[in-house]
Amino acid sequence: MQGQVAGDDAGGGSSRRRESSAAAACLVRGPIIVGAGPSGLAVAATLSQHAVPFTVLERSDGIADLWTNRTYDRLRLHLPKVFCELPHARFPADFPTYPTKHDFLRYLRSYAARFDVSPLFGRTVTRARYDADASLWRVTAVSAADGGVATTETEYVSPWLVVASGENAEVVVPTVKGRERFAGEVLHSSEYRRGERFKGMRVLVVGCGNSGMEMCLDLCEHGAMPFMSVRSGVHLLPREMFGASTFGIAMKLLRWLPIKLVDRLLLLVARMVLGDTEKHGLRRPKLGPLEIKNITGKSPVLDVGAWSFIKSGNIKIVPEVESFTGNGVRFVDGNEMAFDAVIFATGYRSNVPFWLKDDGELFTEDGKAKAEQASDDRWRGPNGLYRVGFSGRGLLGAGADALRAAADIAGRWQAEVAGGSGSGWSQDLLLLGVVVVHRACMHGGVAAPALLAARWSCDDDDHDLASGRLLCSTP
Ligand SMILES: Cc1cc2nc3c(=O)[nH]c(=O)nc-3n(C[C@H](O)[C@H](O)[C@H](O)COP(=O)(O)OP(=O)(O)OC[C@H]3O[C@@H](n4cnc5c(N)ncnc54)[C@H](O)[C@@H]3O)c2cc1C
């Protein structure tokens, strides 16, 4: 079984090749932010607090595509809400400790409205490169036109680029031999909504992370027969210990104790609360849960009810899948079992390598955050490049990255554009625009003629100062 990314083109893996119309170019005021998930929204909101305009490019037709379109219905935030708030806005007091995905989406929508974040939707960023001669980022986005048959390509130009396209941008589906032989249904966890339609069916869930566990629980509660294929070890922890969040306890302990000791304490309590997980097929890895998180970014699984079904045998643990058969799968131990459906809860990956060129500083070849950098400089690269939401610390890390990136951009913006005074703001913007367009045109590329032809002014009719969209648009 080999890891493979579904969809090679950035932005959702559409395999359709479409007609592409001539490129247009847009000089944007302030930074370009790629992605309107929680990270992109958090940077945009913070920039708006600093009175810095921005342009958010989002491939889907709404904010937070992952939470809206690629998660199961019963999903709740895994961590208590205090650890998941975005900068400048608390969760409403009547939200439960672990908000549902619908609560979270409600929060994100009101967050976007409150901070006046209006992304440009349907814009898939396919390329971003730094034009060193012009000292500008040239960001190409493709949008569908004519009902999706043709596409329009636009180049957005700015001195600053914020990468907020997420660690979970593309689904990962392993290649399993004999897939074409299997007569049942095969899907990825991003396509699973609820267990109703699997009632009475034998369903194999491949993967034992938080999603895999929770889908097995959901399948059980809807009268299906789930089997969970476990390849390697897994750290299952109770979501709460002694009435407090396990994550919160761990964070507090880490202030005083070394990570290895905190891991030992967590595992001791986990053993007291859950018993021996190994006895039921869930072998614990050699390293502790926090150490693994630190080294690989892989989170421990927080139990929200699946464990009791594993102990009672309602969720059965099975080995790694070797291949598909006509009516099921063969496992690596040689046994075969029949299934009606197979769900891959095998995770996601970043799509940054497909579209971000000229980097090499902030991201690894597979689009993860480079780990060797000093931790408090992880969000900033050279040439006005920023990375938000890639620290492996979920929403908490995204918020922290967003605050720092936005403050840094605001400092540069104020120094370069408004002279720190705030007076004559529109004129200064106009001046920056002239300089940038001039630089861009001088240094050529597809964008130059379009930029030259660009109609732009500081009239409110031509661009929306309050929401800070485009400084110039093509005629
Ligand atoms: C099932 C599940 C449950 C989770 N639960 C939690 C939790 O409880 N707590 C927690 O802290 N974290 C959780 N996470 C992790 C979660 O992904 C992040 O915390 C959060 O969504 C990160 O936000 P983001 O904006 O960085 O990325 P995303 O939410 O992935 O948003 C990225 C956005 O960028 C857009 N995009 C991607 N590529 C392009 C492109 N080329 N051009 C234009 N737009 C693009 C996407 O459409 C998307 O809207 C969970 C993840 C999953 C999958």
Report whether pLDDT(388) > 50: yes
Of 347, 369, 388, which residue constitutes the final position of a domain?
A: 347
Report CA(248)–ligand 1 centroid distance (Å). Answer: 22
Q: Are residues 112 and 140 in the same domain?
A: yes
Q: Which atom of ligand 1 is nearest to the CA of 395?
A: 11
Q: Are 329 and 355 in contact (CB under 8 A)?
A: no
Q: Are residues 282 and 317 in the same domain?
A: yes
Q: Are residues 164 and 233 in the same domain?
A: no
Give the tens place of pLDDT for each residue, 350-361: 999 999 997 668
168 lines ligand 1 (CB under 6 A): yes
Q: Give the residue-averaged pLDDT of 257-274.
A: 97
Report CA(275)–ligand 1 centroid distance (Å). Answer: 33
Give the tens place of pLDDT for each residue, 18-67: 445 556 889 899 999 999 999 999 999 999 999 999 999 999 999 999 99
Query: What is the C-alpha separation between 455 and 192, in angstroms, rounded?
Result: 46
Higher pLDDT, 463 or 88: 88
Structure tokens at 153: 């390509």
Q: For residue 15, what are the domain limits?
A: 2-169+350-472
397 lines ligand 1 (CB under 6 A): no
Position 240 scores a pLDDT of 95
Region of residue 384 (phi > 0: left; psi between -120 and 50: alpha; otherwise: beta): left
Q: Are residues 165 and 201 in the same domain?
A: no
Closest-CA residue, ligand 1 atom 15, reads 394
Q: Are residues 92 and 21 in the same domain?
A: yes
Q: Are residues 49 and 16 in the same domain?
A: yes
State if pTM tops 0.75.
yes
Contacts of 474 (CB under 8 A, 6+ apart): 24, 25, 26, 450, 453, 454, 455
Q: Are residues 304 and 224 in the same domain?
A: yes
Report CA(37)–ligand 1 centroid distance (Å). Answer: 6
Report CA Rg, the chain.
24
37 lines ligand 1 (CB under 6 A): yes
Position 416 scores a pLDDT of 79
Structure tokens at 444: 């050529």
Q: Are residues 449 and 367 in the same domain?
A: yes
Mean pLDDT score of the chain, rounded to an integer? 85
Give the tens place of pLDDT for each residue, 84-126: 999 999 999 999 999 999 999 999 999 999 999 999 999 999 9
213 lines ligand 1 (CB under 6 A): no
Report CA(65)–ligand 1 centroid distance (Å). Answer: 8
Q: Which atom of ligand 1 is nearest to the CA of 393?
A: 11
Phi, psi (deg, nearest 5) at residue 115: -100, 15
Q: Are residues 180 and 212 in the same domain?
A: yes
Angle at 122 between CA 402 and CA 140, to 5 degrees: 75
Ligand 1, residues 41, 66, 167, 396: which to mutate, most atoms within 8 A of Cβ? 66
66 lines ligand 1 (CB under 6 A): yes
Q: Are residues 69 and 157 in the same domain?
A: yes
Of 299, 323, 347, which residue constitutes the final position of a domain?
A: 347
First CA to last CA distance, the chain: 52
Report CA(94)–ligand 1 centroid distance (Å). Answer: 24
Q: Are residues 325 and 422 in the same domain?
A: no
Q: Are residues 357 and 398 in the same domain?
A: yes
Q: What is the CATH number of the domain that holds 376?
A: 3.50.50.60
Position 379 scores a pLDDT of 84
Of 312, 347, 382, which residue constitutes the final position of a domain?
A: 347
84 lines ligand 1 (CB under 6 A): yes
Q: Are 323 and 330 in contact (CB under 8 A)?
A: yes
Report CA(58)–ligand 1 centroid distance (Å). Answer: 12
Domain count, the chain: 2
